[in-house]
Structure 1
């Protein structure tokens, strides 16, 4: 893999790594419109063109599944299956710093199955090996959508840079589920609730600390990116609420809230209710942003997330753009492409045609025909 310099400080933060994650080979069976597809991808920029509906987005979706365990498109896992198929599989050879791993993700009988280097593993172990950030037509929901979108974005980022986060989150979720079960059954005994509320309090404090650290790390590259992409919005500020009152210990707050929560049938406070939001000096409310500005802010968040990953994990994640030409104007396309070329990340781009910003660049190009046939162009 060619060694390329990191972004200069006036663009992205000076990340002390030239390493990058990349998928060398991608194979999929019975995903969306594809009976089978195989791509040998390059470490730099890969462009996938073809008519609308041919399946370009599904190829990005396959790589994204290996990193997130779900699609960025609407619909549940069943929508991923090719019509008439009972199972789907995605395989990839993943390279970084000269080492390689073989990843396999299958969906059958309503469950995900994960394999890493030939052995069965938990889904989380597989997802921890592959990091993909994706900018696509629905990405503006990161800014304009419900809090769950931003919480998922934040926690994915923390999961990849803080190894202990997943264990704390699992412990918290188990305690939350047990407390919710007690609430639904109308249990009133203090001794039944206390162990789960104490467990939630202990793990929530650790989750909260990890999230705060992550958002603090995100602020710097995000500010620099937004200064270049939409400087007219002024200074940016990330605001975070942890999910329960700042002046309370969670365990004590939950104990005091049992009656109210019993009436609601669920736990109304805790780490599962944490939210973060983005505010600008010239547009203090998100309703003040146009749809185009929402897209650029979402793009900046995703690219800042990639930079934080590179800084803390030591390598750049894979960066995907679905329909780049229709989502960004030419100037913003060129700005983003120039910076991505500088960092050395593997980039996957789709479009009905080669985007203007890539027309004179060295890329590996694929064409997808109706019916799911993928052809290497160069």
Structure 2
């Protein structure tokens, strides 16, 4: 898939920007704080309805602006063109597809963007929430019905947590239907996650062998969030007293996690920060490859500040892979990265939230 046009209004320092993108490599260069990352962030928002940058949601809105909006023309591999719109004036996102208002899930299902950026090492070294997001985004794009199951699970989880926090302990019969719903949805989510990771492993093996051969073979471990020995509904009943004391549900699909261990680095702490970044990059590229295999087209790939995150050899390897895959790439840097010297690319200069095409 390709973003052909991207228009952004009121996002951080981008007052109003419109850009025609190349189907191949697009590079945004400029000083730190000029707004380069915000261009990539706009593309990512269309695919995730959240930013890859940390901080409050309110920080997305440009100071003094009343509304944030992102519009794009997206061409799929089958030549189908879609017009995407995402906006927010208050606390809720509003989504449009080909001019019609749609559910947010429908919009993000149309556009797929993966992003490697300075905080990506958090996928390996950070909290489990980040790894669940990565996993569920991949499952969402290849498993029909995942979103509705996930919403059922979230609704049941919210209701059970509300009961757990009641001023006086509710009767058992009030918990039973929500725990049954929670367990049923969790089992479905678990099966889909497990299946997805099974398909992801070969792609990870290739990526890690290319980027981190010194670490040897790897193992991908998945924990579903509750014991394998008993069904979740029974475990929820038995755990209810402890959950009431804590005020939240401590077992379930919302507690799942996964981890990579290596022959030469059996503990996560054995990885250097550089190795964490390369491992995260391998995970993101593996996800992109699996998406392409399942959907027949590569997602859009964003690489934020590539030259400062990777050495030249790894920059070159990643760029070569993406060029061979014919993926659209959006890349930022203070200058044109050495790995792109002499290669075809559309280059834009970004200064104080304004874009000017250079090449």
Q: Could you say what secondary structure the match of 2:110 adopts?
A: coil
Partner residue of 2:13 out of 22, 33, 40:
33
Q: Does 1:59 align with 2:62?
A: no
* TM-score, with length taken from structure 2: 0.98
State yes or no: 1:288 paired with 2:270. Answer: yes
Mapped to 2, the partners of 1:80 and 1:192 lie a distance apart of 41
Q: Residue 181 of structure 1 aligns with which residue?
A: 162
> Could you tell me which residue of structure 2 aligns to residue 6 of structure 1?
none
Structure 2 unpaired stretches of 5+:
none
Aligned-partner Cα distance in 1 for 2:142–2:348: 33
**Corresponding position of 1:299:** 281
* C-alpha separation in 2, matches of 1:136 and 1:50: 16
Name the counterpart of 2:102: 121
1:150 is aligned, of 106, 131, 153, to 131
Q: Could you say what secondary structure the match of 1:257 adopts?
A: helix
Q: How many residues align?
A: 357
> Who is 2:223 aligned against?
241
Instruction: Give the match's secondary structure for 2:93.
Output: strand
**Counterpart for residue 24 of structure 1:** 4
- Among candidates 176, 183, 186, match of residue 204 of structure 1: 186
1:208-259 CA distances to partner (integer Å, 9 max, x unpaired)? 0000011111111111111111111011111001100111100111011111
Q: Indicate the residue corresponding to 2:116 in structure 1.
A: 135
Name the SS for the 1:232 alignment partner: helix
- For residue 187 of structure 1, report the CA deviation from its aligned partner: 3.3
Q: 5+ residue gaps in structure 1?
A: 1-20
1:105 is aligned to 2:86: yes
**Aligned pair 1:264/2:273, yes or no?**
no
Q: CA deviation at 1:34?
A: 1.3
Q: Distance in 2 between matches of 1:305 and 1:314?
A: 13
The structural deviation recorded for 1:188 is 3.5
Residue of structure 1 aligned with 2:297, choices 306, 312, 315 = 315
How many Å apart are 1:178 and its aligned residue? 0.8
Whole-Å separation in 1 of the counterparts to 2:261 and 2:353 = 43
Aligned equivalents of 2:54, 2:174: Cα separation in 1: 39
Q: CA RMSD in A?
A: 0.8
Q: Which of 162, 170, 173 is residue 143 of structure 2 equivalent to? A: 162
User: 1:176, 1:53 → 2: CA distance?
Assistant: 40
The alignment partner of 1:316 has SS state of coil
TM-score, reference length from structure 1: 0.93
Cα deviation per residue 1:288-330 (whole Å; 9 max; x = unaligned)? 0000111100000000010111111221100010011111111
Please name the residue that 1:68 is paired with: 48
Q: Residue 357 of structure 1 corresponds to which residue in structure 2?
A: 339
Residue 336 of structure 1 corresponds to: 318
Per-residue deviation, residues 257-299 of structure 1 (Å, max 9, x unmatched): 1111111111110000011111001101110000011110000
CA distance in 1, matches of 2:332, 2:170: 56
Deviant stretches of 4+, over 4 Å: none
1:375 matches 2:343: no
Q: How far apart are 1:51 and its partner, in Å?
A: 1.1
In the TM superposition, residue 130 of structure 1 has moved relative to its aligned partner by 0.6
Deviation, 1:373, is 1.3
SS at match of 2:27: strand
